[in-house]
Structure 1
Amino acid sequence: MSVIEMPEWVMNELNKIVHDFIWEGKGVKIAQKTLVARKQEGGLKLIDLETKKLAIRIKTVKKYMEGRWEFGWREFLKKYIDDVGRMGEYGWYMGFKQSMTVGMPDIYREVMEAWRQVKDIIYEVIPGFLRNNCIYDSVCELDGMESRVKVNNIYERIKASLPSKWVNVIEKSCVKKKQQDLPEMYIMKDGEKYNIKSISVKKVYDLFIMDQIKVPASEKVWSRVFEDLDVKKIWSNMDIKYNTIECENNDFLIRHNRIYTNVVLNKINNNNNVMCDVCNTDHETFLHYFLECNELKDFFVFLKSLLKKNCFDDVNLKERWRKIFLFGVFQKKTAIDFWFINYVLSHARLAVVLRRNYAHFEGRKVKIKDFFKAIMTRDIEMCCKYGGDDVKDFFVTGNKFIKEGERKEVLYNW
């Protein structure tokens, strides 16, 4: 067990290091409580350090519950638990308040604070009738003004009113435990029951973090733009095999609606021009940036033709093109088709972003079709060259677009 708490300044510094790494020292684009979610929920499964610390503190409780008296700190913690609850080790089962930990050493206060948060999602199994103290604690959570004597008297009258046969069944069918043994404590997660003595830190962390996850703000935006879109699906096809980090990062920002268009930049700085840097005919909104720019029309004709003749010839791209281009395809035809379609579209989206950046920052236009071909060729050949024969076979086998030439070179069906 750690004997000192982590200073707040250390926690803040660690969080700053993580944020600076993710956002390259610039402003945060996506809420940290969204990034801690799983990839299928729009996050990066980023570790929340404060929550992780609480989960580790629960490990201290786990060790305490195991009853391994060789831990020297156990006697000290037992003393403080007794001071809080005035009921010995059964203080663990109280719904104590944060104010009750005042005066504790910081390390034990952190343990009790973590336990206070997890106590609401656990339940205890105590053979026989609940102890009077447990009943009183439950009543106090609803009405803190009731006296202990009054609650205990009512509880005893209720038990006395039960038929004697019921009482015998309850008492005799239970395994008698020694007075010093603690009740069993369990946590329910996804329909499964975990004993607090055996639950892992990871599972405790998952339970804590579930209540903190923030749904991506972009889901509301895409629900308005595409009325028939299941927004939860847009995160399901992010993991494209052999895709580059550059493409993955770009797709992540697109799905989170965090691409800085000229319209967005104008809201930050009024001096920024709102017109599209490429076509200069309309405001550069998100949809114009990726779908409506006049300079994209010929590229989309080429891209649709490429997909149709190589793997996507039985789907009407015209009706679904806007969603397909932005988010890829979700239905699975054959393994190679499903993967390859999203691989191509991911590179096409990157080409759109890079071609716009050339126009915005350098004032020059590039032919996006040639640019896209160059990016695709570069990434595929890098994979085949450094990934070995197995990777090359993955790209070539069952793929109409890519094949191996007589000299083992990679050929493309543009």
Structure 2
Amino acid sequence: MALHELNVYCQASGAKINTNKTTMAVFGASQATPSTWGFHEAGNSYKVLGVLLGKLAEVCNRKTWENILNKIESQLNVWRLRNLTLKGKVLVINALCISKLVHALTVTDLPGDILSKLKAIFSHFLWKREKGLVSHATLIGDHGAGGLGLIDIYTKKKSLRLKIIKKYLDSSFTAPWKDFVIPTLRGLGHFGDYNLCQMLPRSLFSALDPFEREVLEGWWSLRPWVSAEPKSLQQSLKVPLRFNPDLMGGGPGSGERMFSDTFERAGISTIGDLLDGSGNYDIVRVRTLFRSRGVLFRRAVVLRLAGRIRESILRNWGSFLEGSSSGGDPGAERDVGFVLVDGTRFFGLSECSTKRIYRILIVGAFRRPAVERTWARTFPALTITSIWANMFNWYTAPKRLYGV
């Protein structure tokens, strides 16, 4: 049947299948009869765009990364013959080496030992020794902050993984693989897609497939800088309270929780559990739920926490919680949305490029140089930013301008 369809296509288009360059792979429990189809047989693995696929996924994945490691080492061995500056070496890594990783990082998981080997190879290229003179966590920063803009592989991987989340949340994007994401999200909690509103403990990811785990770890890292954006009152009522960074007192990345486990024992787990039938915040209902479930609580503590949660809810989603049941788009109940906060600007998650996401995530991985503390004491009249700007200008300008 498959060959018949190929023949029909060839007759209609004028194209012709080159059997000498065509490889056939058999899936499932069926066994192919050798030399029946006239194609090369793939065996246990075959290569597609540089990535090995086959029956033994873990073995193919490791061979893929080992091949990439060998290519990178061979390329860097050639560049070691050149008398490159540190900045030039960083440029070689970013432009020639990281580009070899992007496709594989997009479609397959990155084992931890391979990541360690990649870092060791880059460190040896930069410093001619295993341990660098400057921390890797500092080199990945911008020039204005004391770094050299070295691309961090781990952060790059997370930013690429988040493309999966972006496409999954985009209702206009249709793909069969979305059906396989739904059971994974439902297995993490009781809220379905709304589990993405939470920063769930990483221990819940341990039983997942490595690729799925990397996707959710990437989302876990970005979530403090992303705000849930309900499109209707019905949707806002389903937003969970626990592990929700939108309900943390100190802002993104503060880690200051405003939701106690005591509320969950009282049956309060979503925003809707805090509201009455008209969509108004009801503190009397909250106290009643505590008493009806027999949950012991200190009245002053519960009232204080409930008040802080109320303020945060109104600040984030007050437009839907003003007593009206008709706010927002009634047809958008299933399309949970998120907005990325980049400084003072807001972007829809689906509109954010991988580069923008990487720039935000790298802030958490960057470590400021220790010398800045000495500068602050020695040059109190100067800002750290201006000092780095002067150093960068001196480093990049022709030496003759400075008479050295």
Normalized against structure 1, the TM-score is what? 0.53
Q: Does 1:176 align with 2:281?
A: no
SS state at 2:373 partner: helix
Task: Give the Cα–Cα distance (whole angstroms) in 2 for the partners of residues 160 and 182 of structure 1.
Answer: 20
Match of 2:401 among 344, 347, 353: 344
Alignment of 1:146-157 (within 5 A): 146-147=263-264, 150-151=267-268, 155-157=274-276
Q: How many residues align?
A: 248
The one-letter code matched in structure 2 to 1:131 is: L
Contact 1:37 1:43 in 2 (8 A): yes
Which letter maps to 1:109? R
Structure showing greater Rg: 1
Q: Distance in 2 between matches of 1:162 and 1:81?
A: 29
In 1, the alpha carbon distance for the partners of 2:274 and 2:162 equals 32
One-letter identity of the residue aligned with 1:53: K
Percentage of matched positions with identical amino acids: 20
Question: Structure 1 residue 142: deviation in Å?
Answer: 2.6
Q: 1:35 offset after TM fit, Å?
A: 0.9
Q: Which residue of 2 aligns with 1:46?
A: 150
- Aligned partner of 2:226 in structure 1 is 122
The equivalent of 2:128 in structure 1 is 24
Structure 1 residue 178 displacement after superposition: 3.9
- Given that 2:162 and 2:215 are in contact with CA atoms closer than 8 Å, whether structure 1 keeps it comes out as yes
Contact 1:62 1:197 in 2 (8 A): yes
Q: 1:217 to 1:97 in 2, by over 3 A?
A: same
| Cα distance in structure 2, aligned partners of 1:149 and 1:182 | 28
1:212 aligned residue (362, 365, 376): 365
After superposition, the Cα gap between the structure-2 partners of 1:134 and 1:227, relative to the gap in structure 1 and judged at 3 Å, is closer
Equivalent position amino acid for 1:128 in 2: L
Provide the secondary structure at the position in 2 that maps to 1:177: helix
Unaligned stretches of 5+ in structure 2?
1-104, 248-256, 283-319
Counterpart contact for 1:54–1:114, Cα < 8 Å: yes
The CA distance in 2 between the partners of 1:185 and 1:56, in whole Å, is: 18
Quote the Cα distance in structure 2 between the aligned partners of 1:12 and 1:136: 35
Query: CA offsets per residue over residues 187-212 of structure 1, 9 Å max, x none?
Result: 11121111111111111111111122
Q: Distance in 1 between matches of 2:243 and 2:165?
A: 20
1:229 offset after TM fit, Å?
4.0
For normalisation by structure 2, the TM-score amounts to 0.54
- Check conservation: 1:35, 1:43, Cα contact below 8 A: yes
Match of 1:321 in 2: none
What secondary structure sits across from 1:234 in the alignment?
helix
Judged with a 3 Å threshold, the aligned counterparts in structure 2 of structure 1 residues 146 and 41 are, in CA distance, closer, same or farther, namely: same
Q: Does 1:131 align with 2:237?
A: yes
Does 2:192 match 1:73?
A: no
Instruction: Decide whether aligned partners of structure 1 residues 231 and 134 sit closer, same or farther in structure 2, where only a CA change above 3 A counts.
Output: closer
SS in 2 for 1:146: helix
The 3-state SS of whatever aligns with 2:339 is: strand
Structure 1 residue 42, shift from structure 2 partner: 1.2
1: CA distance between counterparts of 2:374 and 2:277? Answer: 56
Change (3 A) 1:149 1:131: farther
1:3-402, aligned counterparts within 5 Å?
Answer: 3-25=107-129, 27-67=131-171, 70-126=174-230, 127-128=232-233, 130-135=236-241, 138=244, 142-147=259-264, 150-151=267-268, 155-157=274-276, 170-179=324-333, 181-240=334-393, 343-345=400-402, 348=404
One-letter amino acid of the counterpart of residue 240, structure 2: C
Q: Tell me, yes or no, if the aligned pair for 2:106 and 2:160 is still in contact at 8 Å.
A: no
* CA deviation vs aligned residue, 1:93-149 (integer Å, no higher than 9, x gap): 233221222321111011111111211221112122622452466589732243366
1:213-268: CA deviation from partner (whole Å, max 9, x where unpaired): 2222222233444454444322213455xx9xxx65xxxxxxxxxxxxxxxxxxxx
Distance in 2 between residues matched to 1:167 and 1:26, nearest whole Å? 57
1:17 CA drift (Å): 1.7
Q: Please list every run of 5 or more consecutive structure 1 residues that lacks an aligned counterpart in the other structure.
A: 249-338, 349-414
Q: 2:401 is paired with a residue of what secondary structure? A: helix
Give the C-alpha shift of residue 63 in structure 1: 1.2
CA–CA distance in structure 1, aligned partners of residues 192 and 273 of structure 2: 24
Contact 2:226 2:341 survives alignment (8 Å): yes
Q: Matches of 1:230 and 1:57 in 2, distance apart?
A: 37
- Kindly tell me: are residues 168 and 64 of structure 1, through their superposed partners in 2, closer, same or farther at Cα, counting changes over 3 Å? same
Q: Report the aligned-residue RMSD.
A: 3.2
Cα distance between partner residues in 1 of 2:137 and 2:128: 19
Deviations 1:309-335 (A, max 9, x none): xxxxxxxxxxxxxxxxxxxxxxxxxxx
Q: Structure 1 residues 68, 230: CA separation in 2 closer, same or farther (over 3 Å shift)?
A: closer
Structure 1 residues 93, 229: closer, same or farther in 2, change over 3 A?
Answer: closer
Residues 141 and 119 of structure 1, relative CA distance in 2, 3 Å threshold: farther
| Number of the residue aligned with 1:305 | none
If asked which structure has higher relative contact order (CA below 8 Å, sep 6+), I would say: 2
